[in-house]
Chains A and B, each alone.
Chain A
Amino acid sequence: MKNIISFLVIPLIFLVLAACSNSSNNASENSDAEEDVKELEVWVHVPADEPEGENYDVRAKEFEEAHENVDVTVEHIVKTGGGSGYNDRVNAAITTRELPDIIALESVYAASYTDSDILLPLNEYLDQATLDSYLDTIISAGSVGDNIYALQSFDLSSPVYYNVDLFEEAGIKVPADENGNWTLDLAWSYEEFLENARKLKDHMGQEPVHMFTENNGWHMYAHSPIIFSNDARMVGENGLDTEGYLDSNNTMEALQFIDSLFRDGIVASTTREDAFALEEAAISFEGPWMVDVFQNEYPDLNWSIMPYPYGKDGHQSAPHGSWYIAATQNTEYPELSAELVAHLTNKDSAIKMEEATGLIPGHKELLDSSETYSDYPRKLMLDQLVNTNHLKPKSPIFPVLEDALGDIMEGIALDNGSLESLINDAKEKVDREADRFK
């Protein structure tokens, strides 16, 4: 019996002591609090020692200094593959209703977050002049319906790289304006792309175009613009209807173009890492970060940048999009939070990010003075960002759309069924999920 009593009483004593200690602390804290400090919490997906993470810390400090009794805490929750580590934390906070005032999010998820009333409409708190400063592309990516929910100080646009030497050897004449630059308006159509790729294939004796074929988000980011440039869409305006979009003639035509790239031996069915860097491919759809890799690690590689091929005139499209900053409905200080979003993504941030990482500044005023993007070929990336369509679907079921497109692209690469059957499977997958939202 003594055992039972001691087993119960000792923890009880600890609990009582702990409770007393907490209450005395709280009492002293309350008495010490002279004024009401507004605490704002920011969650970002990048570590503090990376330029982007460092930039958020600097802006948060500036914001504190500019506002009395405002305390900003930036928490760096490093994302793992596919952003899962960070996203898991955000998802958990949504479940427990403990979201911070401000979060970073992939711009493509803005629609699903707003569908669930998670984000704060920034345009209700920020003046028009502030919003007008951002590139239209950024405003468009951060908007859902008539409201703007997320902003960023930079963006990026993925280029198509080409090997200048291999083009010359294959006898391909590069389109050029009066200054000798391959500009956006001189982009190859599907037919021109195919015709020249065949010449390259004949010259090289292997697949001349490199594409990543694994089923992941890369297809939506880097390859969907090829499809969308044929005036094709995956879903309608509501982000849910596939009928007449995913199965439209335009979509079919665009997919036929991609299919012919694989069937004609222009693109290999499985990814060949470093194929472009090793001059085993003459054209490559890779990220803008490869510019530094090619420059530093492959100094002998004679590369340049060409515009994305397009299907129909007037529908040119190119990849863009990154992680944006948004305020949540959970905040106690909506006006202050909106202001902090604008500050975290202001012009100084844009300048710092361009200097540190070469990202395209997200403010109109800075485009002309941008040193990195003033000359071709890099200027082409800026032109793509500013002057092409960005038709990634704004949908609450974006992850499903991303996977459905990935299934189609992977199916084409592996020649796993007819285009019709691949489209029908994708449509079925999307429709099943869309039904939950209708």
Chain B
Amino acid sequence: MHNIKQKIKQNKTLDFIFSGKILFLLPAFALISIFVIYPLILAVGYSFTDYYLLKPNDISFVGFDNYMEIAYDKYAKKAFFNSAKYVIYIVPLQVILSLFLATLIAKKSKTNTLFRTAFFSPYILSIIVVSLLWKNILDPNSGIVNEFLASLGFAKQEFFSDPNLALPTISFIILWQGISFQMLILMAALQDIPSSLYEAASMEGANAWQKFKHITLPSIKGQVVFVLIVVTTGTFKIIIEPLVITNGGPQGSTSSILLYMFEQGTRYRQIGYASAITVIFAIILIMIAFVQRKLVKEEEG
């Protein structure tokens, strides 16, 4: 029986290949090859060289030197650590709050349409615009938040100049903008849950929390996992907000690993070293996604 199934599967694959349908995948494959696979192979290759941007004709193989250097580079370590901090600050809050908001506005009504539009509007703004907007709002001298604090008799806060405040403040901005997209995904999932399940639970005397725990959460688990993976990898890839708002400062307190890699590659022109950081970064992201999926699958099993 197993052999028959396998043969049917093989025949289907061969049919797919010879029917010509596979050719329709070629454009997508070509694009992925040019913009993802080829750069990835190049990055891995360059990571074993001393490629300096201004000397493209003078590239030498240096083995694992770049990787060894990362191990001793305290600025790289700080950037990795900062990226982890961003993840810790943003991921749990973004997932929980987006689920909370989605639950609030999942029911179809005119008021909810208004709220959905309001909640989603930050997402359609450019990240640079949002960054500059918050930079002005939180400006220590003339920002409205500090003016408000001062009017209440509180001391003005150096949101972006204080090394202890800068990273949490940027995390808040990222959270504020990103939450709406995750909310939309979870809201769509919530709307797909059959209302009969809730009706049956009500008849059985289940309270709101029990309904959420035993109906809502299991029904949208797949989407929650998707959101979790997307938010985690997305948060690790933060670069624009710290670049625009603080340029990684003060004292490197908001620099992310991607920002550090960008700085090494473009400003210091060390393509080889930046490539090594990229490779390590890619491995970390793949591992995180793999572990998250594995954990969820185990739980499902």
Contacts and interface: CB of A to CB of B under 8 A. Distances in A.
A97 B56 contact: yes
A411 B251 contact: yes
A65 B56 CA distance: 37
Interface stretch (B46-54, B106-114, B185-193, B204-212): B46-54
Given A113-B54, A215-B249, A273 B158 contact: no
Interface string A402-438: 0100010011001010000000000001001100100
A273 B54 contact: no
A91 B53 contact: yes
A416 B69 CA distance: 26
A429 B75 contact: yes
A7 B247 contact: no
**Max chain A CB contacts within 10 Å: which of B23, B56, B251?**
B251
A88 B53 CA distance: 11
Interface string B262-274: 0000111110000
B140 interface: yes
Nearest to A422: B251
B161 A270 contact: yes
B291 to A, nearest CB: 33
B195 interface: no
A189 interface: no
A214 interface: yes
Contact of B250 (A3, A84, A400, A410): A410
A397 B268 CA distance: 7
A403 B125 CA distance: 31
Given A1-B20, A4-B23, A414 B250 contact: yes
Interface residues of B: mostly helix, strand, loop or mixed?
A: loop
B169 to A, nearest CB: 14
A272 B141 contact: yes
Interface string A111-139: 01101101000000000000000000000
B158 A116 contact: no
Interface string B71-87: 00101000000000000
Contact of A116 (B19, B55, B73, B267): B55
A296 interface: no
A145 interface: no
Interface string B234-248: 000000000000010
B163 interface: yes
A436 B270 contact: yes
A269 interface: yes
Given A270-B161, A399-B268, A436 B23 contact: no
A216 interface: yes
A3 B53 contact: no
A94 interface: yes
A30 interface: no
A95 interface: yes
Contacts of A88: 266
B261 to A, nearest CB: 15
Contact of A91 (B20, B249, B266): B266
B52 A214 contact: no
Interface in A256-299: 269-270, 272-273
Nearest to B251: A416
B59 to A, nearest CB: 11
Contact of A3 (B20, B139, B141, B266): B20
Contacts of B251: 215, 407, 410-411, 414, 416
A295 to B, nearest CB: 23
Given A416-B251, A429-B75, A7 B266 contact: no
A436 B52 contact: yes
Interface residues of A: mostly helix, strand, loop or mixed?
A: helix
Contacts of A94: 53-54, 56
Contacts of B267: 399, 403
**Max chain B CB contacts within 10 Å: which of A115, A399, A414?**
A414
Contact of A214 (B139, B249, B270): B249
B151 interface: no
B158 A91 contact: no
B142 interface: yes
Contact of B268 (A95, A270, A400): A400
Contacts of A84: 266
Contacts of B163: 414, 416
Interface in B2-44: 19-20, 23
Given A270-B140, A399-B267, A416-B163, A116 B54 contact: yes
Contacts of B19: 3
Contacts of B249: 214-215, 410
Interface in A375-409: 397, 399-400, 403, 407
Contacts of A95: 53, 56
Given A4-B23, A216-B247, A270-B161, A115 B268 contact: no
B146 to A, nearest CB: 11
B158 A115 contact: no
Contacts of B139: 273
Nearest to A84: B266
Contacts of A403: 267
A4 B20 contact: yes
**Max chain A CB contacts within 10 Å: which of B20, B139, B250?**
B250
Contact of A269 (B23, B73, B161): B161
A281 B154 CA distance: 23
A91 B269 contact: yes
Interface string B215-237: 00000000000000000000000
A94 to B, nearest CB: 6
Contacts of A269: 161
A14 to B, nearest CB: 15
B84 to A, nearest CB: 22
A116 B51 CA distance: 12
Given A3-B20, A97-B56, A215-B250, 19 more contacts: A7-B20, A7-B23, A88-B266, A91-B53, A91-B266, A94-B56, A95-B53, A95-B56, A112-B54, A116-B54, A214-B247, A214-B249, A215-B247, A270-B140, A273-B142, A407-B251, A410-B249, A411-B251, A416-B250
23 contacts: A3-B19, A3-B20, A3-B23, A4-B20, A7-B20, A91-B54, A91-B269, A94-B56, A97-B56, A112-B54, A113-B54, A115-B54, A214-B247, A270-B140, A272-B141, A273-B139, A273-B141, A397-B268, A399-B269, A400-B268, A410-B250, A410-B251, A436-B52
A-B CB proximity, top 6 nearest: A116-B54, A3-B20, A270-B161, A4-B20, A215-B249, A399-B267
